[in-house]
Structure 1
Amino acid sequence: MKVKKTQDSSAKSDPKPPVKSASKPLKDIPLKEMAAGTVLLGRYMLMELIGQGGTSTIYRARDMVAVLESDDEQSHLAVKVVDFESDSDVADNQLMLHEALITRHLAHPNIIKVYDYHREGSVCFVTMELVVGESLLAYLQRTLQNKLSYRHVMLILRPTALALEAAHAQGVIHSDMKPSNILMTDLGDIKVIDFATARTTLEVRENNQQYNRDASFYGYTLAYASPETIADKPATPSDDVFSLACIIYETLSGKHPYDRKPSDSIDASKFKLKKPSEVGFWQWFVLKKALSLKGRKRFQSVRWFVRWFTFLRHFWMYLIIIVVMLIGSIVGTKTLSQYLTAERVQLEKNQKIAQQQEGLEKVIERIRSEEPLLRYQQLQALNGTPTLLRGGALGLLYEDVVVPVLNHVENELKYNKKDISTANIPNFSLLTQQIDHVTVYYPDSFKLLEIKRRLITERTQLIDSLTEQVRKEWIQLDFSPNMATRLNNVNAVLKQLDKNTTVVVPELSVMETYHDEIMTAIERYDYRAVNRLFLFSQRLENAQEFKDQWQSVDERAIHGSQLLINYLDQDIRLNQSYPPIAVEYYMQPVFDRVNKLLSKARTEKSIFSAKEELYKIADRFQISGDSVLYDQAYNKLKQVIEKRITSQKRNRRWRSVDRLTELLKEISIQHEKPLPEASVAEN
């Protein structure tokens, strides 16, 4: 048998048959075109549409997993799908998620079972128990004068009251009790449904929330909502007492006690309730008390309301029974004592819940007083709190705890990817720890799961990119101090990203190339290449194998290259001392070439060329006059000139003699000329 459609008079619409075609992808199929045979999450097959409202549609479905594990009938369930095309889809999804989280903790035979909340793409739905029957509203509409007999009403009232009592004991207030939310099954059972707008005793809506008085306010139906619910005051059991009293009045009289007007718009001094004929004289006092527009005057529990209402139906009969009980006081004393003991236990339980609520409110305020990014660390104060109270508190703290953490992680992920350094990149480990800590308390938060996925992806991509950068550095092989600095920076970032990351070690061929370059630089007396290669080995961290390559190199080559470069650099020359040993070590090949030229100097032209070469060396390296190598070259040049002068005198070539004599004076002056601010270094 199909479940009959149940809905409020405020949201009437005829169910439409499903469209048979479902060739589009699931995320592109409008809700109202979802065809029979559509499978959600690869598990729930939609069989037929059985109800449709303004923001959701209900299908009979089959759990394909249950089909494999049990008989076919047990695999049937109901699937409630939010209409994601509606303008309020975000609010509707939140209400559905709220219903699932609240109801799946309420285990009672008179409360419909909600299994779980699901999402596939943009389709959000709840799986729940399939109930075959119809709502109290639909049943009333089929009866004469839209009302029921007192006996029939009580058959519905008692199980409904038991369901509400069970919810209240868990700190959950239904807040939207109405005829359409009471289901009457074909087996004669009563089921209370639709906890989408239920509140815990801690929940309060935002003060600036606006509502339409002609429809449901934040999901609440105004015709049955108490003034405190509409005024957004903290939820109490008396809110459901008011709604239940409205239902009893309407089912007994066929009319709403306040003509379906919002209760906060009723002027109690001008509006007079009329007693239904089915209600006894003493019962009317109880029903009026439950219908009071002031919460403090109403019954504070459904149990006491129903007990007094049913008790006073036969007041005189109960009075006689009481008299009889008094006469038999010996027997009755034990029964009365048990009753009082049970009431005392219940009172103590209610007081304990009230104390827990008061303590929880203080914890919430303390958490909110913390710095936004430190609030999540205080959530452990909620441990040990009853499940539903804890769930309500976490719901209230979502914006205060989760949102700041999400915003912080988002901002950290906006780092400059062109400037990668240990100071610039986010601390992925700390961010992941923060997300994991918050997820313990909000395991169903899609945003937390998504941001953690982004963190893992970003971290992995960054590690891969930096590892590739290191490989490219080892391929270029310029062996410069800058290369060492770049490698150090990249390796430091990799270590920060993952402590277990292994530094990329160069291949054996790289070490061979490095050794060959050292040998070549030494053989060529290339002091700049020697200095570059040596500084690379000193600056590169965790690279002892590069330092070991210098153990067999002459210390004069290593130390002299640095002294010579420091002395020759124009910006710091005045602060450096002349390094004779370094000059002599690295200039030996140059002076050998000059001496070779002097040995072959036979003409006046070749003598002048040798002189120019010597001047260039002296000027280039700022050689001091007391340099041994320079002295040797100078003396040899002087001897060559003097020998040539003697030869030219014999040949009477006086002009040549004069030129050579001037050259001799010139080199003598140049040789004795001191360098400015240059003292000889003892190296």
Structure 2
Amino acid sequence: MAPLGYVLGDRFVLVEVISEGGTSTVYRAIDRIGLWAREQNPEVAVKVLKPDSKMRQKLVQLLHREARLLRDFVHRNLVRIYDSDYDGKYHYLVMELLKGSSLAQILADRQGQPLSPSMSFHIVRAAGQGLAHMHSQGVVHGDLKPGNIFMTSTGEVKILDFGTVLMPRLSPQHDRATALLDQIRFLTPAYASLEMLTGEPRAESDDVYSLAVVAYLALTGTHPYARCPADEALKANLIPAAPPTISPAQWRVLASGLALNRRDRIETVGEFVQRLVRPHWFYRWCGQRMPLS
């Protein structure tokens, strides 16, 4: 862990720890160049890898590839990533500094009490828009969860942490067992689709599943499968109960997003959000353009 006051790359002064995990620490930092240029807000967030992290070589690769891939992604619902670097001691990622709380913290503070449907749908809609933008660029997030969804003090919703975006797809050229083990290490099993847990090629519907789990958690205060990974939930034949605060039409949409098998799941985030948040509008739209089965 880098000490407070340390200057990364002779530019970013670490002034406060925002969060700390097993492999990295996120700091609030002052950008000296921004300060010298008298910018209105010279503060940034910096994620610094711990030098003694397990799988450090893999983490270093993911961190810098994350920056290269996503620094050109500009969307109001994605945290802005500026760059990454190595100063001879620490590998780090520089990103937009956000003020507010993660959805995980918001839910923890409520001690199992759900959010209102309007707030839940606001979060789902905004996160869905961010995911849809990623999908339009050919990228699947792969690790959407309450800890990676942030609500700013002004009510904006931002998706964080894109490390799993960069895990390689399995192919005959890779050692399947090793690649799958690496992928699972970087996933959060309670929010990962069955296909991701079993090493299938990525698809938009993997993010649909994760977003549906987040939506259910926000609406009920509980995980739809009691935090069981999708493969265990399938074996145990677990079936979530309908949230009491949404309509039967909305529950049909949410249940489709929560489908453990991809073939039964809504395929795209855009369709899932549109039908869940505005179901009656969606069905009227469909009725005008195609026959209902």
- Name the structure 2 match of 1:124: 91
Distance 1:102 1:218, change over 3 A: farther
- Alpha-carbon distance in 1 for matches of 2:211, 2:195: 15
Asked if the contact 1:199–1:235 (Cα under 8 Å) also holds between the matched residues in 2, the reply is no
- Alpha-carbon distance in 2 for matches of 1:37, 1:119: 17
> Which of 244, 248, 273 is the matching residue for 1:306?
273
- Name the structure 1 match of 2:209: 242
Asked if the contact 2:274–2:282 (Cα under 8 Å) also holds between the matched residues in 1, the reply is no
Asked if the contact 1:99–1:194 (Cα under 8 Å) also holds between the matched residues in 2, the reply is no
**Could you list the per-position Cα deviations for residues 210-243 of structure 1 after superposition, in whole angstroms to 9, with x for gaps in the alignment?**
649xxx8231100000011111111110000000
- Name the structure 1 match of 2:169: 203
- Name the structure 2 match of 1:178: 145
After TM superposition, the structure 1 = structure 2 runs for residues 14-413 of structure 1, keeping only pairs within 5 Å, are 31=1, 34-71=2-39, 73-143=40-110, 145-199=112-166, 203-204=169-170, 206-209=175-178, 211=181, 217-267=184-234, 270-312=237-279, 315=280, 322=284
Distance 1:224 1:206, change over 3 A: farther
- Alpha-carbon distance in 2 for matches of 1:203, 1:40: 33
Aligned partner letter, 1:79: V
- Name the structure 2 match of 1:652: none
- Alpha-carbon distance in 2 for matches of 1:172, 1:51: 26
Asked if the contact 1:102–1:198 (Cα under 8 Å) also holds between the matched residues in 2, the reply is no
Aligned partner letter, 1:35: P
Asked if the contact 1:99–1:196 (Cα under 8 Å) also holds between the matched residues in 2, the reply is yes
**Could you list the per-position Cα deviations for residues 134-184 of structure 1 after superposition, in whole angstroms to 9, with x for gaps in the alignment?**
100100111153311101101111111100000000000000000000000
For the residue of structure 2 that corresponds to 1:79, the secondary structure is strand
**Could you list the per-position Cα deviations for residues 80-130 of structure 1 after superposition, in whole angstroms to 9, with x for gaps in the alignment?**
000111232112212212321222121101100111110011310001100
Q: CA RMSD in A?
A: 2.4
Flag structure 2 segments of 5+ consecutive residues without an equivalent: none
- Alpha-carbon distance in 2 for matches of 1:231, 1:287: 23
Aligned partner letter, 1:108: H
Query: Which aligned runs of 4 or more in structure 1 are off by greater than 4 angstroms?
Result: none
Aligned partner letter, 2:108: Q
Aligned partner letter, 2:114: K
Asked if the contact 2:26–2:48 (Cα under 8 Å) also holds between the matched residues in 1, the reply is yes
Aligned partner letter, 1:59: Y
Q: CA deviation at 1:269?
A: 7.6
**Could you list the per-position Cα deviations for residues 61-95 of structure 1 after superposition, in whole angstroms to 9, with x for gaps in the alignment?**
11111112133x42110110001112321122122
For the residue of structure 1 that corresponds to 2:214, the secondary structure is helix
Q: Percent identity?
A: 33
Aligned partner letter, 1:192: I
Asked if the contact 2:225–2:239 (Cα under 8 Å) also holds between the matched residues in 1, the reply is no
Distance 1:151 1:242, change over 3 A: same
Aligned partner letter, 2:110: T
Q: CA deviation at 1:42?
A: 1.2
Q: CA deviation at 1:268?
A: 6.0
For the residue of structure 2 that corresponds to 1:84, the secondary structure is coil
**Could you list the per-position Cα deviations for residues 27-67 of structure 1 after superposition, in whole angstroms to 9, with x for gaps in the alignment?**
xxxx2xx3322111111111122211111011111111111
Distance 1:126 1:282, change over 3 A: same
TM-score by length of 2: 0.90
For the residue of structure 2 that corresponds to 1:267, the secondary structure is helix
For the residue of structure 1 that corresponds to 2:15, the secondary structure is strand
For the residue of structure 1 that corresponds to 2:41, the secondary structure is helix
Q: Give the count of matched residue pairs.
A: 285
- Alpha-carbon distance in 2 for matches of 1:268, 1:305: 25
For the residue of structure 2 that corresponds to 1:160, the secondary structure is helix
Q: CA deviation at 1:286?
A: 1.1
Distance 1:206 1:266, change over 3 A: farther
After TM superposition, the structure 1 = structure 2 runs for residues 546-557 of structure 1, keeping only pairs within 5 Å, are none
Distance 1:269 1:208, change over 3 A: closer
Asked if the contact 1:238–1:301 (Cα under 8 Å) also holds between the matched residues in 2, the reply is yes
- Alpha-carbon distance in 2 for matches of 1:206, 1:240: 25
Aligned partner letter, 1:163: G
Structure with the bigger percentage of helix: 1
Aligned partner letter, 1:44: F
- Alpha-carbon distance in 2 for matches of 1:269, 1:87: 33
- Alpha-carbon distance in 2 for matches of 1:180, 1:170: 23
The structure with the largest alpha-carbon Rg is 1
- Alpha-carbon distance in 2 for matches of 1:206, 1:276: 42
Q: CA deviation at 1:261?
A: 1.1
- Alpha-carbon distance in 2 for matches of 1:236, 1:290: 13
Q: CA deviation at 1:206?
A: 4.4
Asked if the contact 2:23–2:54 (Cα under 8 Å) also holds between the matched residues in 1, the reply is no
Distance 1:265 1:144, change over 3 A: closer
**Could you list the per-position Cα deviations for residues 321-369 of structure 1 after superposition, in whole angstroms to 9, with x for gaps in the alignment?**
x59xx9xxxxxxxxx79xx9xxxxxxxxxxxxxxxxxxxxxxxxxxxxx
- Alpha-carbon distance in 1 for matches of 2:38, 2:271: 43
Asked if the contact 2:102–2:150 (Cα under 8 Å) also holds between the matched residues in 1, the reply is yes
After TM superposition, the structure 1 = structure 2 runs for residues 433-582 of structure 1, keeping only pairs within 5 Å, are none
Higher RCO (CA 8 Å, separation ≥ 6 residues): 2
TM-score by length of 1: 0.40
